[in-house]
Every structure is written in structure tokens, then in C-alpha cells.
Copies of this chain bind each other. A is one copy, B any other.
């Protein structure tokens, strides 16, 4: 039985959800311990489960043809992990998901997910809302990424996710910002003065 307060809070945030339904939802999930640097999804594989980050943090990225890593985003506590396209459509994944620290995921597999969506209005609601919110967020981010300089992006990141620079290797932060690690160093140096 899942007891994570973080996850419980998330489930109970659905409108008018009864404890009976909460319990039923929880029953569909499993705890998964992930070691630092392990991948939970790799390109080409079918993503078998999505997971709620109860502890730790993940990066998700793509590799270009030339082998260049491009970090799309990080997932900290309270976020979901997994290649959505691969999970939902049972297609090969196009992204990698890697734990940057020892982590704990609260996971659900594809068939349990489908079943749960059918029997729980609350869970379906939460999932669709999460997708909607994430979509709106990345649209806004996309606009800012186009108009800001690297330094402005870095400062905005510090405001929005001050934990990133502490918990994530700087070369991954640089990739997330779309710049070279050396450029990030320069920017940090300039700011510290």
C-alpha cells in the first residue's frame, strides 16, 4: 500500500473524490526504487510505465543523430516521468529518462493505467489536467526561450527552479538552457561579480 503524503495529496486534489476511490487508485500503483544514473526509459524501447516522482530527480533528453544530448527538462518531486507518446501509443520511445540521484517512483503500467482511467473519473481528470497544465507551461516557456538571452534564461531558471543548480550537473543545466557548458560557466562567472 502506498503511503507517500506527496502522492496522497496529489490524488486528493481531484474534486469530490471519496476515500474509497483514493484507495482504489492507490491499489493500481507500485513503488520503484531507482539508483542514481540509472535509466527508466531509453530511446527505442516501449515505455512500460509512467511514474510519480516521490523522491529524487530525473532528466529527460533526446540524443541527436550526431549523439548530442539535449535535455528537454528535469523532473523533481511531484512531477511525472515516462515517455508519454511511447506509453500511450505503445510506440518506441524517442526520449531517455535518467535518475540524477537515488530516486523513488510511484509507477503504473499501461494496462493498469487504461483500466484505472475507465473506472476512476477522478484519476482520468487528474491526468488530463496534468497534461493540459504541462502543455500550457511549455508553451509559455517556448515563447520566453525565443526572446531571452542565455543569461536571462539562466536567471529565470534560478527563480523558477532554484534547486536545479544544486542538484543537477552543470553540463546538464547548460544543455537544458540550450548552451555549451563553457558558456554557462562564463555566465555564472559574470553574474557572481
Q: Which A residues contact B (CB, under 8 angstroms)?
A: 61-62, 64, 68, 70-72, 84-85, 88, 94-95, 128, 131-132, 134-136, 138-147, 175-178
Contacts and interface: CB of A to CB of B under 8 A. Distances in A.
Nearest to A66: B147
Contacts of A72: 139, 142-143, 146
Contacts of A146: 70-72, 175-178
Given A64-B147, A131-B135, 16 more contacts: A61-B143, A62-B140, A62-B144, A70-B143, A71-B146, A72-B139, A72-B143, A72-B146, A84-B136, A84-B139, A135-B135, A142-B142, A142-B145, A146-B175, A146-B176, A146-B177
Nearest to A84: B136
From DSSP, what is the main secondary structure of chain A's interface residues? helix
A50 to B, nearest CB: 13
A135 B84 contact: yes
A175 B144 CA distance: 11
A139 B68 CA distance: 17
B135 A68 contact: no
Given A135-B131, A135-B138, A145 B94 contact: no
A13 B135 CA distance: 22
Nearest to A147: B70
Nearest to A134: B135
A175 B151 CA distance: 19
Contacts of A143: 61-62, 70, 72, 95
Contacts of A140: 62, 94
